[in-house]
Structure 1
Amino acid sequence: MKKILGNIALILGTILISFTFILTIIYNTLISTDWYERVYISRIPSALYCIYLIVLLILITNYPILKKINTKIVLSFSLILFILAGLYLVFNADPYLRNADQMWVWNAVKNINNGNYVDFEKGQYLNAHPLQLGLVTFERLIATFSENITFLYFLNLLFNIGSIILLWLISKIVYENTVVQNLTAIISILFTPLLFNTLFVYGNVYGLTFLLGAVYTQLLSLNKKGKKRIIYGICTVTLAGMAYLVKPNFEIGIVAIAIVYFLAIFGKKHYIILALGVLLVIPTVNIALGKIYSYEVNRNISLSRGIPKLTYVVMGLSEDSNGRIGWYTGYNDRAFSDNNYNTDKAEKLAKKDLRIRVDYLKKHKVYTRRIFRLKLISTWTDSTYQSIWNGPLPT
């Protein structure tokens, strides 16, 4: 049964990755770096396919070299290039945060550390986005060392280096193949959004490193015995909790880690403890943060309040005047503010709007197919949005 479930997971994963790969070699999406985030979708120029072919030929012809060369040398050389590029970026980028979530979170960090709790007041940032409290907490710790923006960039660079090393270590466990390990190191530094994310101070970089750390320690816990298995299992739960703390979006990865432990139960039943432990980090972090800040601010703070998640679903199915489909339109913020910052009333409005939108999509099937097609393309074929756009650009 374990082998069958593992093969199913492998097949599904291959299908999803292949689908994304096909999209990226056919389409290219650019998002304007201004506040309007205009979406431009185009086909990949035919000349670029020649580059694809050349890269493929280089990989094929260098296969014997990749097979023989020491993987630690490849990793070291790749890291040196990444570090040099990263240091240049860190110390030459403008030392300010873009006027978006990353700046608002950082402002809240400085306010709270100074004893000012204005961000928790009605209509303010943390009142609308209490799920950011985990990142705020982590960055409050960082701010005790320095509030310098360049320092934040440098810290992101260190975490990115950690992610590359962890990916390489994971490849060593999963694939006992020198070529795969060498390609992992090379492709990691060629994935330029990772480099440019050094300037995106918003928890993504921290969370990715923590999650990869959780995956790595999970693999070790599955391959060790006795006390080492327990120690690595505890590390997995802890790192998964840190990933969720700084970025709740990583709960998808946390659920995946839990599923792996559940599959391992077919071999050894005690893995159910680790599976449940990983899943429990989500409510544990939420409850703990609510309790801590309720005590500090002296008012009731709950991470289940603020802007309802359902408003994001409505926004994700909508198209705005700029032709953006499923991108940020401000609907979530408006639904919350128009209902006097009341979570229950905003959710009630979202349910009503969702029914209206779904009914419209059902009646206009040609339009529905078009917007979902464009939504998929624009979501998966822009390699710069979550890196370049979020850097220190003027708005």
Structure 2
Amino acid sequence: MKQFSTIFFKLGYFLILTMTAIALLFLAGQILLSHTYIPLHIAEGVQFVSNPWYFYPLLLLFLLGLFLIRPLLEKLSGKHLFLGLSLLFLAAAIFLITSYSGRIRADARHVFYAAIAFNQGDYSSLTTVGSYLYRNPHQLGLMTLERLYAYISPTTQFAFVMNILWTLLSNFLIYKITALLTAKEIIQKYTILLTFLFLPQLFFVLFVYGTIPGLFFCLLSLYAFIQLEQKGRLLYALLGAASIGMACLLRNNYMIFALMLMGVCLLSAFYKWSWKKPLAIVLIAAAIVFPGKFLTGYYENLIGQSIGEGTPKIAYITMGLRDDPNRQTLGGWYDAYNTKILKRNQYNEKQAREMATRDLKDLLIHFIKNPGYALKFFYEKVKSTWTEPTFQSVWTGPQIERQQYMKPAVLRSIYEERAGYQLVNFLLLILLAAIYLLSCGFVLRKYFIAEERLRPFDLYPFIFLLGGGLFHFFWETKSQYVYIYVLLLIPAAAQSLVELGDWWQERKEKRTL
């Protein structure tokens, strides 16, 4: 049995690092050649843009600066660094919030105002045929959280403030998770620095959606399961399951994170057996299923009628494989197919599901008959999703076409797609390239050079990246969906920085001998 466990773990380890190395080599190569640009005035518009010549020297300068800042980081404590950067983030986020009227749009607006209406006894968004929650009952978890917000203050400004809190807590958990997995303080400090340099988190403060609070609960779950691995207390298993269940309620896409946790726990069981690890897998599976059923039951009792599936899930896969020539988006991006399919079928969910299935079969047949087109389609879909530096964090904010305005000139320059937006794009392009290159270097070193193997929980960002990549290869895509996968590569990038610095220092010392 022990020999089988060893073979299974080694096979899983080999496959994970191999696929991650291939994925990161592809992304690093693509980001060095060109990147994706999101025009702010086009709905889901996507353009491929060549990198300017000065991108390359400035990328090298940025990487050099990260190496040179190490002595300063070593003088600071991790707590003081985190506190100082948190205060800067807080000041910038407050400036952002107070400069804006607070008007939101699209799905975020529908969910937020449905929450206020529910608190007032108006359930029409869920009960009226064709209304938003009727078509999207998967948003009930997010609406429930925003109902809690609305009890305190029914304003978007309060929701923005809560986003600040969730983001700071997430950054703290990334720091503490890194501390649990590596004893080197300098790696923890680089992780803190790069996490706060990841500016999409700042701009997403104005995006009242489930991604930000959901990420906090994902990270809390991961932290709890690492503690279970290291300390063995069952309380951590319960905390981890409850947290991932909450994350999946807020954002269904976080089921990928839940599956990643199950995969890591399975690898961990083969790495070092404990009956608590299979129990953790069962608890995670239960957390994916039962909280959603409980919440649906609560709202069915509240409104006095059953809640249907809404938009069939297969419609999102069909949309993710479509290329609508009448829209300025690339194939696979959001094109409103999912919002129209129920209406086309007079809100008959069964007929809508059958139509989406037929359309999906037609698309697959088209791909099979036209392999050249299929290759171009998926190449552009992947590249456009993963090489967009802002991850639509500015695009999801105020837009002048929607009569959403910023007051200060510096923010108008960003949100009106002038010089400020170009600068933000460029700075984030350098950061994104650095993250891909460093994390790719980390994986390749562990794969080919390092004698010490990674432990199961060290693999979490790579399993999560592979899961997200596979999911959005077929599912409807947006660059905003994948920022969480890139964000969680930062600890690997930080470790790569430290290992490269240590290697260079050792080389210098050998030369002086």
Q: TM-score, normalising length from structure 2?
A: 0.73
Ranges in structure 2 where 5+ consecutive residues have no aligned partner: 1-5, 403-513
Post-superposition shift, 1:245?
A: 1.2
Post-superposition shift, 1:252?
A: 0.3
Which amino acid is the alignment partner of residue 268 of structure 2? A
Residue identity (%): 30
User: What's the secondary structure of 1:28's corresponding residue?
Assistant: strand
What does the per-residue CA deviation read over 1:241-262, in whole Å, with 9 as the maximum and x for residues that have no partner?
1111111111100111122222
Post-superposition shift, 1:172?
A: 0.6
Which residue in 2 is equivalent to 1:311? Answer: 315
Post-superposition shift, 1:133?
A: 0.6
Which residue in 1 is equivalent to 2:389? Answer: 383
153, 160, 166: which one aligns with 2:173:
166
- Looking at structure 2, the residues matched to 24 and 81 of structure 1 have their Cα atoms a distance apart, in angstroms, of 29
1:265, 1:271 within 8 Å by CA — same for their partners in 2? yes
Post-superposition shift, 1:8?
A: 4.0
Which residue in 2 is equivalent to 1:232? Answer: 236
1:82, 1:195 within 8 Å by CA — same for their partners in 2? yes
User: What's the secondary structure of 1:389's corresponding residue?
Assistant: coil
Which residue in 2 is equivalent to 1:273? Answer: 279
Which residue in 2 is equivalent to 1:111? Answer: 117
Which amino acid is the alignment partner of residue 204 of structure 1? T
User: What's the secondary structure of 1:205's corresponding residue?
Assistant: helix
Q: Does 1:127 align with 2:131?
A: no
Post-superposition shift, 1:11?
A: 4.3
- The 1:18/1:176 distance shift into structure 2, 3 A limit, reads farther
Post-superposition shift, 1:188?
A: 0.7
What does the per-residue CA deviation read over 1:324-358, in whole Å, with 9 as the maximum and x for residues that have no partner?
21111111122211111111111111111111111
Moved more, 20-29 or 199-208: 20-29
Number of corresponding residues: 389
Q: Does 1:253 align with 2:257?
A: yes
Which residue in 2 is equivalent to 1:244? Answer: 248
What does residue range 1-395 of structure 1 map to in structure 2 within 5 Å?
A: 1=6, 3-4=9-10, 5-6=12-13, 8-34=15-41, 36-67=43-74, 69-98=76-105, 100-120=106-126, 121-225=128-232, 229-266=233-270, 267-302=273-308, 305-320=309-324, 321=326, 322-393=328-399, 394-395=401-402
- The 1:10/1:173 distance shift into structure 2, 3 A limit, reads farther
- Looking at structure 2, the residues matched to 385 and 97 of structure 1 have their Cα atoms a distance apart, in angstroms, of 18
Which amino acid is the alignment partner of residue 212 of structure 2? V
User: What's the secondary structure of 2:54's corresponding residue?
Assistant: helix
Post-superposition shift, 1:114?
A: 1.0
User: What's the secondary structure of 2:152's corresponding residue?
Assistant: coil
2:89, 2:202 within 8 Å by CA — same for their partners in 1? yes
2:329, 2:335 within 8 Å by CA — same for their partners in 1? no
Post-superposition shift, 1:71?
A: 2.3
- The 1:152/1:309 distance shift into structure 2, 3 A limit, reads same
Which amino acid is the alignment partner of residue 262 of structure 1? L
Post-superposition shift, 1:116?
A: 1.0
- Looking at structure 2, the residues matched to 80 and 15 of structure 1 have their Cα atoms a distance apart, in angstroms, of 38
What does the per-residue CA deviation read over 1:171-229, in whole Å, with 9 as the maximum and x for residues that have no partner?
1111222221111111111111011110110111100111111111111111003xxx1
Post-superposition shift, 1:90?
A: 1.8
- Looking at structure 1, the residues matched to 39 and 350 of structure 2 have their Cα atoms a distance apart, in angstroms, of 35
Moved more, 123-132 or 254-263: 254-263
- Looking at structure 2, the residues matched to 211 and 287 of structure 1 have their Cα atoms a distance apart, in angstroms, of 20
- Looking at structure 2, the residues matched to 114 and 271 of structure 1 have their Cα atoms a distance apart, in angstroms, of 44
- Looking at structure 2, the residues matched to 66 and 138 of structure 1 have their Cα atoms a distance apart, in angstroms, of 38
2:44, 2:329 within 8 Å by CA — same for their partners in 1? no
What does the per-residue CA deviation read over 1:86-137, in whole Å, with 9 as the maximum and x for residues that have no partner?
1211221231112x00000011111111111111221111111010011111
Moved more, 7-16 or 75-84: 7-16
Runs of 4+ in 1 over 6 A off after TM superposition: none
Q: TM-score, normalising length from structure 1?
A: 0.93
- The 1:127/1:325 distance shift into structure 2, 3 A limit, reads same
Which amino acid is the alignment partner of residue 152 of structure 2? F
- Looking at structure 1, the residues matched to 42 and 350 of structure 2 have their Cα atoms a distance apart, in angstroms, of 29
Ranges in structure 1 where 5+ consecutive residues have no aligned partner: none
1:94, 1:392 within 8 Å by CA — same for their partners in 2? no
Which amino acid is the alignment partner of residue 230 of structure 1? L
- The 1:377/1:201 distance shift into structure 2, 3 A limit, reads same
Post-superposition shift, 1:74?
A: 2.2
- The 1:103/1:47 distance shift into structure 2, 3 A limit, reads same
Which amino acid is the alignment partner of residue 372 of structure 1? F
